[in-house]
A and B are shown apart, each in its own frame.
Chain A
Amino acid sequence: NAGVTQTPKFRVLKTGQSMTLLCAQDMNHEYMYWYRQDPGMGLRLIHYSVGEGTTAKGEVPDGYNVSRLKKQNFLLGLESAAPSQTSVYFCASSYLAGRGQETQYFGPGTRLLVL
């Protein structure tokens, strides 16, 4: 199993450009998450999904949109990138199975630089 994969690994955008980050997991997990990690701020939840076709806002959702059209994929979109969105983005997934259901497995991250 590849686990959680993310594409691209690195991207440079100009202010105002749009892009989509792709997260894929092959573990049949119900739950998927998008985080951003900034120096001194820790991991902050952007959006999450509890199943195919559902999404919900996390702690810092502004400026981002998400979609979960297939169970194994979770897309994060930036419609009009801003320098404040320069960050490392991590996708994670977790399974629904009693104790340990909150254990999250992370992808390798996408480094985004917005100029």
Chain B
Amino acid sequence: RKEVEQDPGPFNVPEGATVAFNCTYSNSASQSFFWYRQDCRKEPKLLMSVYSSGNEDGRFTAQLNRASQYISLLIRDSKLSDSATYLCARGAGSYQLTFGKGTKLSVIP
């Protein structure tokens, strides 16, 4: 089992919809998790950090389920500008991060 797994998508959703992605991880000792957003041909940019049960920032909510070893990202009221690839990452010790391969989201007018 890969350390961090994501459904590659693409997820095609209409504007205004709510969409959720899951990310599963295999190392139960992981303490920190992150969601990054990556636009086409650009660098990843931090969207949210998740250390305890979850985090919320406007339309974005991240939830951590340690028992089932996954984190989720919920996007409410999707905008066209939310179209991107969303990368999940977990802290891997020694200040390293292990990334998933990303989930592609396309928000359709």
* Size range of the chain A interface in the assembly: 20 to 34
Q: Are B87 and A43 interface neighbours, CB within 8 A?
A: yes
* Size range of the chain B interface in the assembly: 20 to 34
What is the bound-complex CA distance between A104 and B35, given in angstroms? 11
The A20-64 residues at the B interface (CB cut-off 8 A) are 31, 33, 40-43, 45, 48, 50, 56, 58
Q: Are A99 and B101 interface neighbours, CB within 8 A?
A: no
Query: CB-CB < 8 A to A56: which residues of B?
Result: 94
Q: Are A102 and B95 interface neighbours, CB within 8 A?
A: yes
Query: CB-CB < 8 A to A45: which residues of B?
Result: 96
What is the bound-complex CA distance between A98 and B42, given in angstroms? 28
6 A-B residue pairs with Cβ-Cβ distance under 8 Å, sorted by A, are: A48-B96, A90-B44, A101-B95, A102-B91, A106-B43, A109-B43
Query: CB-CB < 8 A to A106: which residues of B?
Result: 43-45
Q: Are B96 and A41 interface neighbours, CB within 8 A?
A: no
Query: CB-CB < 8 A to B34: which residues of A?
Result: 102-103
Instruction: Tell me, yes or no, whether B49 is within 8 Å of chain A by CB.
Output: yes
Question: Chain B residues in contact with chain A, CB under 8 A?
Answer: 32, 34, 41-46, 49, 51, 87, 91, 94-97, 99-102
A50 interface neighbour in B46, B95, B101, Cβ under 8 Å: B95
B63 to chain A, nearest CB (A): 18
Given known pairs A40-B101, A102-B32, the reply for A107 and B94 (CB within 8 Å) is no
Q: For residue A109, which residue of chain B has the nearest CB? A: B43
Instruction: Identify the interface centre among B43, B51, B96, B100: most chain A CB within 10 Å of its CB.
Output: B43
Query: CB-CB < 8 A to A40: which residues of B?
Result: 101
Q: Are A104 and B97 interface neighbours, CB within 8 A?
A: yes
Q: Are B94 and A50 interface neighbours, CB within 8 A?
A: yes
Q: Are B49 and A42 interface neighbours, CB within 8 A?
A: no
Q: Are B94 and A42 interface neighbours, CB within 8 A?
A: no
Given known pairs A99-B51, A102-B32, A103-B49, the reply for A90 and B43 (CB within 8 Å) is yes
Query: CB-CB < 8 A to B91: which residues of A?
Result: 102
Instruction: Tell me, yes or no, whether A72 is within 8 Å of chain B by CB.
Output: no
Question: What 1/0 mask marks residues of chain A from 84 to 113 whose CB sits below 8 Å from any chain B CB?
Answer: 000000100010100111111111110000
